[in-house]
Structure 1
Amino acid sequence: MNLVNIGGVPEHFNLPWYLTLKNGEYKKEGINLRWRDYFGGTGEMAKDLRNGTLDLAVILTEGIVKDIVEGNSSKIVQVFVKSPLIWGIHAAGNSHLSTLEDLKGKKAAISRYGSGSHLMAFVNAENNGWDINTDLQFEVIKNLDGAVESLTEGKADYFMWEKFTTKPLVDDNTFKLIESCPTPWPCFVIAASKNFIENQSGSLKIILQIINNTTVEFKSIPSIDQTLANRYHQKLIDIQEWLSLTEWSQKQITQDQIYRVQDKLKSLGLISEEKSYQDFVHTFAL
């Protein structure tokens, strides 16, 4: 049995992986695919792709693009979710902060530097005409639990995380939702380490074929909305809204999308150079 380590955030986007693992679809092909939940998000996954702990990661597009520019030898092998990620901008439920303007110059909680919550704070600042050199401050909180603690205790003022994941915390007044900020590109890609691409290309193709067969028909699975609501402790109406906004992909990221991400990161001072499309992607016929 060929061991393959894969990681992703423990969120509703990744239920297709759980379903295919539960059905034993990879083992039928001689692949022991081991999934690890990454509560710390993109920065933690990028680190483990670099050090060989992970072979594959379902990772935020902007995060892996930044890390590849900075020397990660991994490559994007396809887009996983082609719709934007809708980031919710949250304050503590009892906070006096209630508008985006209130957040200008305040401290943002981020899971770690280089994470989606870090990068999108810059995007949000630019969207609102803030000075990214003076109007942004950061508090590293590692994960969602850390964000709850940080905002509740006043160590940070606001926190950006996927809107539907944090909805239960808004419902119980731990957080309040101030605004939403969608990514201007496909939100999740599948990235593979250089070693895995070079030495297990056959397994990579099989894994992508299996997950793509599931995502292409995911929304038509009977009662999938109820399954998602139960597993991720969400209200059914929220899951139904999320499903209506979310589209999975079975294709590689385009050159235009890669350049759009790089242009935004460079304009925000988050990368110092831009690389060619071939530096980011690995393509092959499935």
Structure 2
Amino acid sequence: MSTPRLLRVGWHREHFLSPLLQLVAEDAGKSLQLVECPGGTGDMQVKLKNGEIDVCIALTDALIAGLANGKTDYKLVGRYISSSLRWAITTGKDSKYTEVDQLKGTTFGISRLGSGSQVMASVLSLQQGWGPDEQPKFQVNGQFKPLRDSVNAGDTSVFLWEWFTTKPYVDSGEVRFIGSVYTPWPCWSIAAAPAANKEAVKTFLSKLQPHVIDFDSEASRAGPAIDFVEKTFGQQRTDVEEWLKTVKWEHRLAEVSEAVVRKTLGVLQEAGVVPKEGQQWDMATFVDTDVAKIVESADQIN
């Protein structure tokens, strides 16, 4: 009798994924295999397309943008974080850029085309009111370190990355913050490849959920969650404490909010990330209803 294949879970090395790491430790290789995706959500999308992973926890906006722009390599199967994400606007330690307004028409570093780093650059442009001739250009740099190297070399003006993941490199003097931008949507969702074993995905969600609820609890936030992130990701304890004040996990994972999908699409349309005209968005394009339940209510952004 053949051994069932492990469910391959794509992840990026960020503190938001702490409950996932705790589940994987408990699973001990019986049903789950972690596959690291250093390039973030764009990397996960490529691995989903190539059949290298079955499911992933990734950025809501990039997942939805990909589906709206015709990707068929995955669908949403759940929600994960209900709060927004703070993206740091980061430049080189000796660069000439000191203010966001100076970035009009410059070249932003991004991890991959369609990634959150590109999507949020377009959202930033929308929020700043930059005109057609002031839109950012993009240079694909791949992973986090090449992005940092690029701003220090002057090849790009800035890049966007999660605030607390970037902060240690600011503290060390490698790069500088010049601002931040927040997502106007719940920032992390769960997606799976159509070919993934749906029962395995359902089981994964049901096993992950109690770990999320526990990590998000008042008791965990008072100490154990801080200890885990500090030890696992090497972040300063004060930074972990500050981060935990800003983040809220979902407690019903196997659901997708239609209101969130449509709100996100609206912002992405205004930012020019997805087509703006003539679209009648069908939720079947975005959600695998064999796994997730579509709910009407919107998630709350903290």
For normalisation by structure 1, the TM-score amounts to 0.92
| Cα distance in structure 2, aligned partners of 1:133 and 1:269 | 14
SS of residue in 2 equivalent to 1:166: helix
Q: Which residue is equivalent to 1:243?
A: 244
Decide whether aligned partners of structure 1 residues 227 and 112 sit closer, same or farther in structure 2, where only a CA change above 3 A counts: same
- Counterpart of 1:209, as a letter, is S
Give the structure 2 partner of residue 187 of structure 1: 187
- Which residue does 2:286 correspond to in 1? 280
Amino acid at match of 2:125: A
Question: Which residue does the alignment assign to 1:173?
Answer: 173
Answer whether contact 1:262 1:274 (CA < 8 A) is retained.
Answer: no
The correspondence for 2:215, drawn from 215, 218, 232, is: 218
**Aligned residue in 1 for 2:11:** 8
Report the counterpart of residue 123 of structure 1 in structure 2: 123
Q: 1:154-165 counterparts in 2 under 5 A?
A: 154-165=154-165
Match of 1:85 in 2: 85
- In 2 relative to 1, CA 274–160 (structure 1 residues): closer, same or farther, beyond 3 Å? farther
TM-score (norm 2): 0.87
C-alpha contact 1:110 1:138 (8 A) present in aligned 2: yes
Q: Equivalent residue of 1:194, what SS?
A: coil
In 1, the alpha carbon distance for the partners of 2:200 and 2:189 equals 18
Counterpart for residue 297 of structure 2: none
Instruction: Point out the more displaced range, 90-99 or 185-194.
Output: 90-99
Report the CA distance between 1:143 and its aligned residue.
Answer: 1.1
Q: Which runs of 5+ in 1 are unaligned?
A: none
| Aligned equivalent of 1:262 | 265
CA offsets 1:162-190 (integer angstroms, 9 cap, x no match): 00000001101111111111100111111
1:285 CA drift (Å): 7.2
Cα distance in 1 between the residues matched to 2:136 and 2:77: 33
Is the alpha carbon distance of 1:274 and 1:231 closer, same or farther for their aligned partners in structure 2, counting shifts above 3 Å? farther
Deviation at 1:230, TM superposition (A): 2.3
Q: Provide the rounded CA distance (Å) in 2 between the counterparts of 1:162 and 1:243.
A: 14
Query: For residues 22 and 158 of structure 2, what CA distance do their matches in structure 1 show?
Result: 34
Q: Taking structure 1 as reference, are residues 97 and 146 closer, same or farther at Cα in structure 2, changes over 3 Å only?
A: same
**Superimposed CA distance per residue, residues 185-231 of structure 1 (whole angstroms, 9 cap, x where no aligned partner):** 111111011111xxx22211211011101001103335220221122
What residue identity is the alignment partner of 1:206? T
Cα pair 2:47 2:53 within 8 Å, conserved: yes
Q: Are the aligned partners of 1:126 and 1:132 in contact in 2 as well (CA < 8 Å)?
A: no
**Mapping of residues 11-30 of structure 1, within 5 Å:** 11-24=14-27, 27=30
> How has the CA–CA distance of structure 1 residues 132 and 265 changed in structure 2, closer, same or farther, with 3 Å as cutoff?
farther
Cross-structure match for 1:70:
69
Q: CA deviation at 1:132?
A: 4.9
Q: Is the 8 A contact 2:76 2:192 kept in 1?
A: yes
Q: Distance in 2 between matches of 1:132 and 1:110?
A: 20
Q: Distance in 2 between matches of 1:274 and 1:85?
A: 28
Closer, same or farther: CA 260–218 of 1 in aligned 2, 3 Å: same
Q: 1:203 aligns with which of 200, 214, 218?
A: 200
Q: Note the alpha carbon deviations across 1:102-158, whole angstroms, 9 max, x for none.
A: 222221110111000001000001111112553311121101100111011111011
Does the residue aligned with 1:165 lie in a helix, a strand or coil?
A: helix
1:42 aligns to 2:44 (yes or no): no
Structure 2 alignment gaps of length 5 or more? 294-302
After superposition, the Cα gap between the structure-2 partners of 1:88 and 1:285, relative to the gap in structure 1 and judged at 3 Å, is: closer
Distance verdict in 2 for CA 1:78–1:19, change over 3 Å: same
Q: Is the 8 A contact 2:126 2:270 kept in 1?
A: no
Counterpart residue type for residue 71 of structure 2:
N
- The residue identity in structure 2 corresponding to 1:266 is Q
CA contact (8 A) 1:43 1:113 kept: yes
Alpha-carbon shift at residue 281 of structure 1 (Å): 1.2
Please give the alpha-carbon distance, in whole angstroms, between the structure 2 residues aligned to 1:99 and 1:255: 36
* Superposed displacement of residue 50, structure 1: 2.1
